[in-house]
Amino acid sequence: MRALLKPVIARELGVVLLKPGSELMPMFISGRVLVESQPASMASFETGRVPELRQPLAANPALRPFFLHEKVITAAGGLAGLEYWLLRHGGGTCQYQHSDYHYHELTTMRHEPGAILLCGHCDNRLSEQYTERLAELARQNVIDWVLDTARSALAIDKSREISLPELCWWAVRVGVTDALPESVAREALRLPAEKQTYRESEIVPSVPATSIIADKARTLAVAPAATPPAIKPVVGVLVEPESPQTLMKRPKRARWDKPKYLAWVKTQPCECCGRPSDDPHHLIGWGQGGMGTKAHDSLVIPLCRQHHTELHNDPVKFERKHGTQPEMIIRVLDRAFALGVLA
């Protein structure tokens, strides 16, 4: 979070007082705060919280084919991942704006090339329809989602823009560099634009910039994955309805222990604030996590350090404010099964 505050300076004492107010106070109690001079780019901003920046890459027409490429959509988590993102970060309102009635519950409707966030009324009204207006909404949702997915994967704060080289690095990590347009790859590598020639004798063969990026990735031993990491199973769930323990009168209960699943949960955004998580929190209360015991590794929630501490300090107050732990666990498990993490 970034904010502009008007300081109150006591010159005789050499003391600077900052008045953050109730909205910005959590920023001061969650950790260290960096105080710096106001950058020129923020000179026109009002005092208070700095709004999240628009991503210029989203408006770059040269990048549209990349964002809407089937391989890129799959690498970002597939349409199931897009629908989950829309329900969590889509703004909380129906995207099909009109003067008619809107139902309070939201759902998603798939529309080429992605999906749209709609209320139940508009979902019934627009089912199986195709219009350019809906298609443009779906395209913009895909672009915003891919950018947000790349930013989260690279642990980039939402208060700043993601750069073109960072987007290209994400493409290297998930193995979709071949979907990058040549002009975009050349710009990321700071290569001069290809000179337009009219004579065959003036044509000089050159190595495509996308190939240069792919070669650099191989040099760094970052080989493109055979399957997109977002849908590659991390852990298998073996269903054994007639296990030996079920036939015992007093079976010894075994704890489900899966470090790989915990590692995946740690890469997910915090369930409370959407920032990169720090810890996979195991369920406490609700008959779990008693003295000397720990809940199964399937009953975990991705949380940032601030909200993890808040939960352990007062679970009842935390659940009143953010929702119950079982509700969060259901959302995480639903995402894990939908993305093929649990299979």
| Residue carrying the six token digits 């075994």 | 254
| Mean pLDDT of the residues in the chain | 78
Q: What is the pLDDT of residues 287-328, one digit of tens each?
A: 776 555 788 888 999 999 999 999 999 989 999 999 999 999
217 vs 39, which has greater pLDDT? 39
Q: Looking at residue 332, what is its pLDDT?
A: 92
Q: Are 149 and 74 in contact (CB under 8 A)?
A: no
Amino acid at residue number 328 = M
User: What SS3 state is found at 311?
Assistant: helix
Q: What is the pLDDT of residues 112-163, one digit of tens each?
A: 899 998 888 888 888 777 888 889 999 999 999 999 999 888 888 776 778 8
The first and second tokens of residue 18, run together, are 């900052």
201 vs 125, which has greater pLDDT? 125
Chain centroid to CA 273: how far?
11
Distance (Å, whole) CA 343 – CA 339: 9
DSSP 340: T
| Residue carrying the six token digits 């107050």 | 317
Cβ count near 135 (within 10 Å): 15
Q: Are 256 and 298 in contact (CB under 8 A)?
A: yes
Q: Is the pTM of this model over 0.75?
A: no
> From residue 132, how far is each of 9, 135, 270 by CA, in Å?
56, 5, 35
Q: Are 264 and 233 in contact (CB under 8 A)?
A: no
| pLDDT grade for 224, boundaries at 50, 70 and 90 | very low
Q: Looking at residue 339, what is its pLDDT?
A: 84
Domain segments of the chain: what residues?
A: 3-49, 53-195+205-230, 256-338
Q: What is the DSSP string of 50-83?
A: PPPPP-GGGG-GGGHHHHT-HHHHHHHTHHHHHH
Distance (Å, whole) CA 228 – CA 212: 21
Q: Mean pLDDT throughout 265-293?
A: 83
* Cα radius of gyration (the chain): 24
